[in-house]
Amino acid sequence: MSRSLLWHISCFLGLLPFWIQCTSSANSCAVWHEVADCSHLKLTQIPDDLPANITVLNLTHNQLRKLPPANFTRYSQLTILDAGFNSISKLEPELCQKLPLLGILNFQHNELYQLSDKTFIFCRNLTELHLRYNLIHKIQNNPFKGLKNLIKLDLSHNGLSSTKLGTQLQLENLQELLLSNNKIHVLKREELDFLGNSSLKKLELSSNQIKEFSPGCFHAIGKLFGLSLNNAQLGASLTENLCQELSNTSIQTLSLSSTQLYRTSNTTFAGLKQTNLTVLDLSYNGLNVIGNDSFAWLPHLEYLFLEYNNIVHLSSRSFYGLFNVRLMILPFSG
Ligand SMILES: *[C@@H]1O[C@H](CO)[C@@H](O)[C@H](O)[C@H]1NC(C)=O
Ligand SMILES: *[C@@H]1O[C@H](CO)[C@@H](O)[C@H](O)[C@H]1NC(C)=O
Ligand SMILES: *[C@@H]1O[C@H](CO)[C@@H](O)[C@H](O)[C@H]1NC(C)=O
Ligand SMILES: *[C@@H]1O[C@H](CO)[C@@H](O)[C@H](O)[C@H]1NC(C)=O
Ligand SMILES: *[C@@H]1O[C@H](CO)[C@@H](O)[C@H](O)[C@H]1NC(C)=O
Ligand SMILES: *[C@@H]1O[C@H](CO)[C@@H](O)[C@H](O)[C@H]1NC(C)=O
Ligand SMILES: *[C@@H]1O[C@H](CO)[C@@H](O)[C@H](O)[C@H]1NC(C)=O
Ligand SMILES: *[C@@H]1O[C@H](CO)[C@@H](O)[C@H](O)[C@H]1NC(C)=O
Ligand SMILES: *[C@@H]1O[C@H](CO)[C@@H](O)[C@H](O)[C@H]1NC(C)=O
């Protein structure tokens, strides 16, 4: 029995608790307080008979091809719009104009391929924008420039070949940028310049096959706190290079799981000596050799993850200098 049928039967029989409002809408969206759940209903159009005072509208897992702004005029109180898992290929600027209070726009798993300088121009209250699993290959000009309140931007699982999301300083409140599973091969200095006025804390670059870190590539984001580069074929020398580039940042959490780091030496993490690195994830690396004094540069390290490695060469100096480590997972033949 489908959920919507159940819903109608429950409404009819008065079986639902008194605080649930049963809607008579033909689309069978479930409305509870100011939240409308219209997910999984094979919708091809935006329902027009929901209470006008809803603040959350869930349109996920439907068959929507567009979000016509005019259809949202009624729902001007929305603070969260979840339109994920549809087939929408275009976002019109007027959508945000109809939704001045919108704080979270979730557009994951759609078919967006192009963003213009106008797309988000009216989305001034947005704090989170989720665009992962779309078809965005290129960002031209400055589509995110108006998003002065944005805290989290998720562009993972697209086809981007660069971290450059703009040509001017912008996104001054951005704290989290997710770019995993794109096609970024080089981290160039100027390609993060647009964040020079932000205090980005978390950068997610996992599953990009980065082959080169250009000198000073993190200079614009010196407040960086956490970096993930899992599933990148970095190996020992690129890892050493990466750590040198991170030397002037506030990095505290570094995730290098599955990066083909087979051996470490006393130079691998030397670049991090001025930082307060507290968490280092080296799991799933096929790590064989932990050379003497590999971690001697990291006196603040508290968590070292080494599970799923195959460490055969260890000496009494392998972990020399780790005074604060609380947790170390160390299976010897993983
Ligand atoms: C929202 O609208 C519905 C009717 O459409 C009403 O029953 C409900 O009381 C309203 N909620 C608030 C908080 O105004
Ligand atoms: C919308 O519904 C989907 C599927 O039930 C759920 O995973 C998602 O978290 C919901 N979104 C919001 C904003 O509640
Ligand atoms: C909402 O969408 C439907 C179908 O796309 C359209 O016929 C209708 O005019 C729209 N409603 C408003 C208020 O624009
Ligand atoms: C953003 O939302 C607040 C209320 O949360 C509202 O006062 C303000 O006008 C909105 N900003 C814009 C640009 O619409
Ligand atoms: C930099 O950010 C501050 C607020 O943190 C803002 O006042 C200023 O206009 C921004 N500068 C530029 C060039 O965007
Ligand atoms: C770190 O800062 C020092 C001193 O300002 C500078 O000489 C060095 O080039 C910087 N390193 C990086 C990788 O940005
Ligand atoms: C490391 O921590 C100390 C003490 O909390 C702080 O003064 C210093 O600025 C931190 N250094 C970096 C590079 O974040
Ligand atoms: C690093 O180890 C090599 C031998 O493997 C040694 O010659 C060198 O002095 C060490 N460097 C530091 C800074 O400990
Ligand atoms: C590593 O340290 C151990 C124990 O101090 C020492 O016996 C060994 O020679 C060192 N290896 C290298 C390559 O320096």
Ligand nearest to the CA of 313: 9
Reported as a pLDDT band with limits 50, 70 and 90, residue 27 is low
| Bridge-based pairing state of the strands 212-213 and 186-187 | parallel
pLDDT of 189 strictly over 50: yes
Q: Is residue 228 in a domain? A: no
Cβ(82) – ligand 2 distance below 6 Å: yes
How confident is the model at residue 199, as a pLDDT?
A: 92
Reported as a pLDDT band with limits 50, 70 and 90, residue 18 is very low
- Alpha carbon of 133 to ligand 5 centroid (Å): 31
How confident is the model at residue 12, as a pLDDT?
A: 47
Range 264-280 burial, b when 16+ CB lie within 10 A, else e: bebbbbbbbeebebbbb
How confident is the model at residue 13, as a pLDDT?
A: 45
97 in Cβ contact with 118 (< 8 Å): no
Which amino acid belongs to residue 232? A
Kindly report the average pLDDT of the chain as a whole number.
90
How confident is the model at residue 24, as a pLDDT?
A: 42
pLDDT of 85 strictly over 70: yes
Tokens representing 235?
């190996």
Q: Is residue 311 in a domain? A: yes
Using CA positions, which residue lies closest to atom 10 of ligand 2? 58
Q: Is residue 49 in a domain? A: no
Convert the pLDDT of each residue in 261-278 to its tens digit.
999 999 999 999 999 999
pLDDT of 332 strictly over 90: no
Reported as a pLDDT band with limits 50, 70 and 90, residue 290 is very high
Q: Is residue 319 in a domain? A: yes
Using CA positions, which residue lies closest to atom 12 of ligand 1? 53
Total structural domains within the chain: 1
pLDDT of 334 strictly over 50: no
Q: Is residue 119 in a domain? A: no
Q: Give the residue-averaged pLDDT of 1-28.
A: 47
87 in Cβ contact with 109 (< 8 Å): no
Cβ(273) – ligand 7 distance below 6 Å: no
How confident is the model at residue 322, as a pLDDT?
A: 86
How confident is the model at residue 331, as a pLDDT?
A: 59
In this prediction the pTM is: 0.90
Phi, psi of 58 (to 5 degrees): -105, 110
Which residue, among 319, 249, 248, has the nearest Cα to 282 in the 3D structure?
319
Q: How far apart are CA 6 and CA 222, in angstroms?
A: 54
Q: Identify any residues that bridge with 253 across adjacent strands, giving them in sequence order.
A: 226, 279
- Alpha carbon of 68 to ligand 1 centroid (Å): 24
Cβ(80) – ligand 2 distance below 6 Å: yes
Q: Is residue 178 in a domain? A: no
How confident is the model at residue 26, as a pLDDT?
A: 52
Q: Is residue 298 in a domain? A: yes
What CATH number has the domain bearing residue 285?
3.80.10.10
Rg (CA), the chain: 24
pLDDT of 333 strictly over 50: no
Domain interval for residue 305: 236-333
Which amino acid belongs to residue 261? L
Q: How far apart are CA 179 and CA 24, in angstroms?
A: 42
How confident is the model at residue 21, as a pLDDT?
A: 46
Reported as a pLDDT band with limits 50, 70 and 90, residue 325 is confident
- Alpha carbon of 259 to ligand 8 centroid (Å): 24
Q: Identify any residues that bridge with 57 across adjacent strands, giving them in sequence order.
A: 36, 81
Q: How far apart are CA 137 and CA 284, in angstroms?
A: 30
Q: pLDDT over 70 for what percent of the chain?
A: 90
Cβ(162) – ligand 3 distance below 6 Å: no
How confident is the model at residue 16, as a pLDDT?
A: 46
Tell me how far CA of residue 254 lies from CA of 220, 245, 273, 293, in angstroms. 18, 13, 14, 19
> Which of 60-64, 219-223, 237-241, 323-327 has the least mean pLDDT?
323-327
Cβ(68) – ligand 3 distance below 6 Å: yes
Q: Is residue 266 in a domain? A: yes
